[in-house]
Amino acid sequence: MKVAVLGAKGRMGAEAVAAINSATDLTLSAALDLGDSLDQLVSTGTEVIVDFTTPDSVMKNLEFAINNDIHVVVGTTGFDDKKLEQLKSLLSNHPKVGALIAPNFGLGAVLMMQFSQTAAKYFESAEIVEMHHANKVDAPSGTAIRTAQMITDARKQSKKSAMPDATKSELPGARGGKVGDVPVHSIRSHGYVAHQEVIFGDAGETLTIRHDSINRAGFMPGVLIGVRNVAKHPGLTVGLENYMGGM
Amino acid sequence: MKVAVLGAKGRMGAEAVAAINSATDLTLSAALDLGDSLDQLVSTGTEVIVDFTTPDSVMKNLEFAINNDIHVVVGTTGFDDKKLEQLKSLLSNHPKVGALIAPNFGLGAVLMMQFSQTAAKYFESAEIVEMHHANKVDAPSGTAIRTAQMITDARKQSKKSAMPDATKSELPGARGGKVGDVPVHSIRSHGYVAHQEVIFGDAGETLTIRHDSINRAGFMPGVLIGVRNVAKHPGLTVGLENYMGGM
Amino acid sequence: MKVAVLGAKGRMGAEAVAAINSATDLTLSAALDLGDSLDQLVSTGTEVIVDFTTPDSVMKNLEFAINNDIHVVVGTTGFDDKKLEQLKSLLSNHPKVGALIAPNFGLGAVLMMQFSQTAAKYFESAEIVEMHHANKVDAPSGTAIRTAQMITDARKQSKKSAMPDATKSELPGARGGKVGDVPVHSIRSHGYVAHQEVIFGDAGETLTIRHDSINRAGFMPGVLIGVRNVAKHPGLTVGLENYMGGM
Amino acid sequence: MKVAVLGAKGRMGAEAVAAINSATDLTLSAALDLGDSLDQLVSTGTEVIVDFTTPDSVMKNLEFAINNDIHVVVGTTGFDDKKLEQLKSLLSNHPKVGALIAPNFGLGAVLMMQFSQTAAKYFESAEIVEMHHANKVDAPSGTAIRTAQMITDARKQSKKSAMPDATKSELPGARGGKVGDVPVHSIRSHGYVAHQEVIFGDAGETLTIRHDSINRAGFMPGVLIGVRNVAKHPGLTVGLENYMGGM
């Protein structure tokens, strides 16, 4: 399969180029960056593009690709409802083209969220501890917030009653926050990259799901799953988990 | 729903009696132990029995229950192929009766195994660390062996190549063993009850699923899932995970 | 060595009786509870008492023991400055008698606090995650508060600057609190007993010290260290760590 | 303080150059690599050298430095008894010069070993789990072997009896080994860098000390402790822990 990378000089794009070069079933047809002509996608017979560019340029890239019947795997951030609608409209004229928008390509993170959604149905309590480097400006992390929302939804569907919590006296100042039903605890320290632990508890037992991500290489197996499966999923798909069957 | 416990004076049976008494949607119809007449099951209108007796007496109990159209939830150990065949034959004459044979009622343990089976498809490496009290005679634990087999099967189905391992020099004497593809590490120490960690690794990330069980109460939510669902699953079911949909 | 237990019918006292009976170098001389005469301590030749009674009765017991030149190991809670002064005054007339007041007999907890105090000097960041059963009314736990204070003091002595923390956006509602310099995260769930993790971080590395306590038996090795060493430490000692040399 | 780095183009040397440049109390006087003249050390008034070169060239560097009354902090590997004797002999003629040979500059690793040595005196059981990247050729790791030896020595001094272990049935093939008294479990997987967990257990409680190292930057705080303290420790010192008081 012929695959081009857009944003090939960026940090994620460069990793994607390396990952495609290492995969024996994939051929890198083009590695484009700012200013390069998109026409190369057509002349090289590219079948799938991987886009790690910027919120400003991504829509132009996707329009070109879809109009030329090239599948798109997108890690660029900033997809709001408006952009998703534009994308659906583009795709409606090319019903065989697949488009994957993935907020997180980390397989481990995606699995952690899926497993948490399932476990939430069976345990009384759920809390999240997430650990990130000290330069992170937001707490809780985006992944923690999304996990907490998924757990909250699953609890609602299972008609869970409120989590047991006898706390009467407390102190101020804990970093984190309560998201839906779920207390999230945010640790910030040098020596961490991106880590999260989801803890489920019930009488006599706890189940803990932990993901540790220490560099960008960890996202590439997820990008490759996207590349290899996008042609089998025509239309718009949001979230890599939709390509990961049987969970 | 009227539920009877057989083996009610044993440790697991006593916990089951307590759990049923605490459940507002269930009524304890009988709590029988060695020497008590099974006729009470009929006279009390019992709909489901929970059997925590012994490999020697369990088949007689199940025969009586099934012949009286009572569903059976079984935690008693020692079910080999021969016993399972006998059970199927009994059930074939009572097509509405459900029978659940569950080697492990711990929800957390069941989920850990299910999640491991799924994660095995996405990660290059998988290893298990299991921690038990120092009085345990077998290493690796039964749960670890079963988890390792499930991971090995999942890897085979996904056509995974051998795990990366550059080890050239080694020392003898590590407790544990290799089960299928999976190295299992067994820790034995006072201060532990029953714990297991399944570690999945790939470039840049690890996913760890850990289950900690500190007492028998941890098995009761699983028993109750069995009791509440057995009537909806006529015929023989082996493994609580078959009642836990959507995983 | 002849050892008596006061409060022998309480939960901790009963464990102490069992622990002394199991120790080959110690003899249980008396097991007293409410209403039993203290005179037995003298008639049995008791050398050390272990007191797990109540804040109301403990001072009367200690007065009797010290006046009869019997060493005292005390796990009873509620020792404020006034009681400690009374005790010092009693001991001043019996200069060979040792008295140990121990807020926590868990060796693991004591070591965790000592190690944390040391590590605090070498790492930029320190945070605490403590996990307790859902029936606990206070957050953070007493052990977490004490650990955080010890870390804060050690940082002050090492003239550490403020921990790195770029957090700009936050949510309300995280259980726990900031104690001195140290963010403490409090998790409450069934399935836990008493657990604490102290995390130290700096560029490229983290050091984590974790203590898991699953039952009262875990306090007995600490009680026995107290019993075996109290005679060598005349006068008042507060904190088991003072008997644990070489840390 | 004027500090020179030898082996400045190597991976550790380059990190050391950066660390010294970032430290406000230190001045980088020279950054030398293969072929550069050592005379610059004298002409620049260097007070301390940091040597991250090779086993072949290190002794020549140290001889030059010591003969010019420059203190030496050495991370180069391969110091056997013969080299240490040579070094002592060199130092005997320069009694004010300090030399630190450090097999491990990771503060976290050094503290983990120190804490393990202390904890070993108080717990019945001790086991080590170490996790490294899949390209590592030796199992157990050097740090695990050294930790296990320190624990074994501490147990001997405390006259500990054998660890409790009821294991009767076992499987072959677990990676790791028994070092002294201590079972060591070795996990190898992509996604890890260098990690170790030391677990101590006794009735009702476990104490776990874990070190996670994710890049070379983690060694630099230890290098700086060496640089800042070597002048206060004339003569030969092996092991950074000797500069870390009060543990």
| pLDDT at residue C245 in the model | 67
The tens digit of pLDDT for each residue in D183-238 reads: 999 999 999 999 999 999 998 999 999 999 998 888 898 999 999 999 999 999 99
Which chain B residues touch A111 with a CB distance below 8 Å? 115, 118-119, 122, 207
Q: What is the mean pLDDT of residues C145-149?
A: 93
Catalytic residues of C: 132, 136
Residue with the bigger pLDDT between B198 and D203: it is B198
- Asked if the model's pLDDT at residue A245 lies above 70, the reply is no
Q: What is the mean pLDDT of residues A120-149?
A: 94
Q: Chain C: list its partners (3+ Cβ pairs within 8 Å).
A: A, B, D
Q: How many CA atoms within 13 Å lie on the side-chain side of D89?
A: 8
C99 and C221 in one domain? yes
- Which of these is catalytic: B71, B96, B121, B132? B132
| pLDDT at residue B170 in the model | 82
Interface check D191 vs A, CB under 8 A = yes
Instruction: Find the residue in A nearest to C214 (Cα).
Output: A204
Task: At C241, list the tokens.
Answer: 């760590």
Interface check A158 vs B, CB under 8 A = no
Residue B245 confidence class, pLDDT cut points 50, 70, 90:
low
Interface check D161 vs B, CB under 8 A = no
The tens digit of pLDDT for each residue in A22-38 reads: 999 999 999 999 999 99
Q: Residues of chain D with pLDDT > 90: what percent? A: 84
Which chain D residues touch B185 with a CB distance below 8 Å? 129, 174-176, 185, 187
B85 and B116 in one domain? no
C71 and C133 in one domain? no
DSSP codes joined into one string, C100-149: EE-S---HHHHHHHHHHHHHTTT-SEEEEEEEE-TT--BSS-HHHHHHHH
B112 and B98 in one domain? no
A79 and A118 in one domain? no
Neighbours of A63 (CB within 10 A): 15
Interface check D134 vs B, CB under 8 A = yes
Instruction: Find the residue in D nearest to B171 (Cα).
Output: D177
Residue with the bigger pLDDT between D241 and A99: it is A99
| pLDDT at residue B247 in the model | 38
Residue A139 makes CB contacts below 8 A (sequence gap 6+) with A175, A176, A177, A186, A188, C167, C169, C170, C171
Interface check C200 vs D, CB under 8 A = yes
The tens digit of pLDDT for each residue in D165-198 reads: 999 888 888 899 999 999 999 999 999 999 999 9
Residue A138 confidence class, pLDDT cut points 50, 70, 90:
confident
Q: Which letter does DSSP use for residue D166 in this model?
A: -
Q: Which residue of D123, D124, D127, D137 is the best one to mutate when testing the B interface, meaning the one whose CB has the most B CBs within 10 A? A: D127
Residue B231 confidence class, pLDDT cut points 50, 70, 90:
very high
- Asked if the model's pLDDT at residue A246 lies above 60, the reply is no
Q: Let me know the angle formed at the C-alpha of A30 by A28 and A33, rounded to the nearest 5 degrees.
A: 130
Beta strands D48-51 and D2-6 are parallel
* Domain of residue B186, residue span: 107-214
Task: At A192, list the tokens.
Answer: 């961490």
User: Which amino acid makes up residue A235?
Assistant: G
> For the domain that residue C132 is a member of, what is the CATH number?
3.30.360.10
The tens digit of pLDDT for each residue in C97-143 reads: 999 999 888 899 999 999 999 999 999 999 999 999 999 888 999 89
C207 and C178 in one domain? yes
Q: Note whether C19 and C220 are within 8 A (CB).
A: yes
Rounded to whole angstroms, how far apart are CA atoms C110 and C107? Answer: 5
Q: Is C10 annotated as a binding residue?
A: yes
Q: Residues of chain D with pLDDT > 70: what percent? A: 99
Residue C247 confidence class, pLDDT cut points 50, 70, 90:
very low
Residue D247 confidence class, pLDDT cut points 50, 70, 90:
very low
Residue D239 makes CB contacts below 8 A (sequence gap 6+) with D101, D102, D103, D110
How many helices, marked H, and strands, marked E, lie in chain A? 7, 11
D153 and D85 in one domain? no
> For the domain that residue A64 is a member of, what is the CATH number?
3.40.50.720
Q: Residues of chain A with pLDDT > 90: what percent? A: 84
Which chain A residues touch B122 with a CB distance below 8 Å? 107, 111, 221, 225, 244
The tens digit of pLDDT for each residue in A67-76 reads: 999 999 999 9
Q: Between chain B and chain C, how many beta carbons pairs sit less than 8 Å apart?
A: 9
Which chain C residues touch B191 with a CB distance below 8 Å? 212, 214, 218
CA-wise closest residue to B196 among B115, B102, B119, B109 = B109
Number of domains in chain A: 2
Which chain D residues touch C207 with a CB distance below 8 Å? 107-108, 111-112, 209-212
Residue B59 makes CB contacts below 8 A (sequence gap 6+) with B83, B86, B87
Rounded to whole angstroms, how far apart are CA atoms D115 and D103? Answer: 18
Residue A223 confidence class, pLDDT cut points 50, 70, 90:
very high
Residue A218 confidence class, pLDDT cut points 50, 70, 90:
confident
B121 and B50 in one domain? no
State how far residue A176 is from chain B, nearest Cα, in angstroms: 22
Interface check C189 vs B, CB under 8 A = no
Residue C232 confidence class, pLDDT cut points 50, 70, 90:
very high
The tens digit of pLDDT for each residue in A45-80 reads: 999 999 999 999 999 999 999 999 999 999 998 888
Q: Is A7 annotated as a binding residue?
A: yes
Instruction: Find the residue in A nearest to B201 (Cα).
Output: A108
B55 and B34 in one domain? yes
State how far residue C215 is from chain B, nearest Cα, in angstroms: 9
Q: Is C242 annotated as a binding residue?
A: no
- Asked if the model's pLDDT at residue B159 lies above 70, the reply is yes
Axis crossing angle, helix C220-229 with helix C107-119, rounded to the nearest 10: 80
Residues in C 72-91 with any Cβ partner in A closer than 8 A: none
A82 and A93 in one domain? yes
| pLDDT at residue B217 in the model | 83
B127 and B80 in one domain? no
CA-wise closest residue to C128 among C110, C105, C145, C111 = C145
Instruction: Find the residue in B nearest to A219 (Cα).
Output: B204
- Asked if the model's pLDDT at residue C217 lies above 80, the reply is yes
Rounded to whole angstroms, how far apart are CA atoms B64 and B70? Answer: 9
- Which of these is catalytic: D71, D94, D132, D211? D132
| pLDDT at residue A84 in the model | 94
- Asked if the model's pLDDT at residue D138 lies above 90, the reply is no
| pLDDT at residue C171 in the model | 87
C158 and C94 in one domain? no
Give the residue ranges of the annotated binding site of B. 7-12, 33, 75-77, 102-105, 133, 142-143
The tens digit of pLDDT for each residue in B35-68 reads: 999 999 999 999 999 999 999 999 999 999 999 9
Q: Do D122 and C217 touch (CB under 8 A)?
A: no
For residue B233, indicate whether it is catalytic.
no
Q: Which of D203, D207, D212 sits opposite C211 (nearest CB)?
A: D207
Residue A174 confidence class, pLDDT cut points 50, 70, 90:
confident
State how far residue D182 is from chain B, nearest Cα, in angstroms: 9
Mean pLDDT for chain A overall: 94
